[in-house]
Amino acid sequence: MLENLSAQPADKILALIAEFKAETRPDKIDLGVGVYKDATGNTPVMRAVKEAERRLVADQTSKAYTGIAGDPAFSEVMIDLVLGDSVARARVAAVATPGGTGAIRQALELVRLAAQKATVWLSNPTWPNHPSIIKYLGMNMAEYRYFDSETRGVDFEGLMSDLENLSEGDVVLLHGCCHNPTGANLSYEQMAQVIGVMQKKRAVPFVDIAYQGFGDGLAEDARITRLIARSFDNCLIAASCSKNFGIYRERTGILMAIAKDADQQGITQQNLAFLNRQNFSSPPDHGARVVTTILQDPDLRADWEAELEETRNGMLALRQQLADELKRLTNSDRFDFLAHHRGMFSRLGTTPEMVEKLRAEHGIYMVGDSRMNIAGLNAQTVPILAKAIVDAGI
């Protein structure tokens, strides 16, 4: 049997991690891996997470399975965090999942159950796991233009033109905030226009929100997702706790499905539970309990929000420092987009050959499409990166 297997393509980011580890130059810079790092290069455990875990260890009396949908309290706090009061709670079905990736997979499985022939539309570019999972599931897929390599902003005209090709029942995957891999976001007003086209075409939105709190703040980062949610009878939302709670390895995510009414919600909840059962039975619980503990306790929540703000402001400061340093070196404002982007990532909009030149000549590692993790920088490495970008002729 196993002799029939074919080799799978190597994961580019994992390969990049291995190359970086093998690099011997002391001034090497890792801008590839998609995790938050502090100024020392560490991915810290947040203070509120530490305290919540301490309480769990002291108070938890069982490691029995949670329900198939996960702990209902986790769903409640996450629905409140992401959606607020934008839609009636009776319309929202939800299940805990193994991370945001698990939520995306379950959402696509749900689409396949409900509308097998639907086409899923993705931004070009998008997070590589989006098309990978869709292809693996054998689903129809199409792309809409998104990133303008000249302006390093959103190609809004191209995007709107492509969405005119939607068919009724198609699914449009949208990034809730902090677009990955570009860092370039649609404005609230632009999203309202996107919603108008989708409503006209009777398409279904699917929001991936993995970085809430990393862009412009918790509430502001949820604003577009809430606008989308209240604008449609049906909406899918995959949310991750990996980044904003810093619990990457705990695999904590949630899938929310907004139904037209309470009756449709009940059927949807049954189908979400069915899919959880088929794929992993019960979802992981430790991270979900940590998140629930934090969001239910006013003091822990306040401390978490304060540390999250420190993280967000730190990344914004690095963005501004890099943009300012590049302006100083080039006497040009063509890198100002770096300060306008949001989240962990920005896309330089250069070629794979230039990315390789940065690696070979300067020990700077980023993904071949020129996505770089701003959180991989610190105040001392920003000038090094800026000089390398200029020296490479980007």
Q: Which of 164, 186, 189, 163 is nearest to 176 (CA)?
A: 186
- To 10 degrees, what angle do helices 262-279 and 99-114 make? 120
89 secondary structure, DSSP code = G
Domains, the chain, ordered by start? 11-45+309-392 (3.90.1150.10), 65-296 (3.40.640.10)
How far apart are alpha carbons 161 and 140 in whole angstroms? Answer: 20
Average pLDDT, rounded, for the chain? 96
Q: Residue 90: pLDDT band by 50, 70, 90 thresholds?
A: very high
Q: Which two tokens stand for residue 394?
A: 């980007």
How far apart are alpha carbons 204 and 157 in whole angstroms? Answer: 21
Residue 160 pLDDT: 98
How far apart are alpha carbons 89 and 357 in whole angstroms? Answer: 52
The pLDDT of 170-176, averaged and rounded, is 98
Q: Residue 11: pLDDT band by 50, 70, 90 thresholds?
A: confident
Residues designated catalytic: 127, 208, 210, 243
pLDDT digits (tens, 9 = 90+) for 249-288: 999 999 999 999 999 999 999 999 999 999 999 999 999 9
Q: What angle do CA 306, 97, 127 make, to 5 degrees?
A: 75
Is residue 276 within 8 Å of 69, Cβ to Cβ? yes
The pLDDT of 344-369, averaged and rounded, is 94
The type of residue at 248 is Y
Q: Residue 34: pLDDT band by 50, 70, 90 thresholds?
A: confident
Residue 117 pLDDT: 95
The pLDDT of 22-45, averaged and rounded, is 90
What b-and-e string marks burial along 45-70, b requiring 16 or more CB atoms within 10 Å of the CB? Answer: ebebbebbbeeeeeeeeeeeebebbb
Radius of gyration of the chain (CA): 21
Q: What angle do CA 101, 107, 110 make, to 5 degrees?
A: 145
Residue 174 pLDDT: 98
Q: Which two tokens stand for residue 230?
A: 């209240």
Tell me the HSE value of 155 on the side-chain side, using a 13 A CA sphere.
17
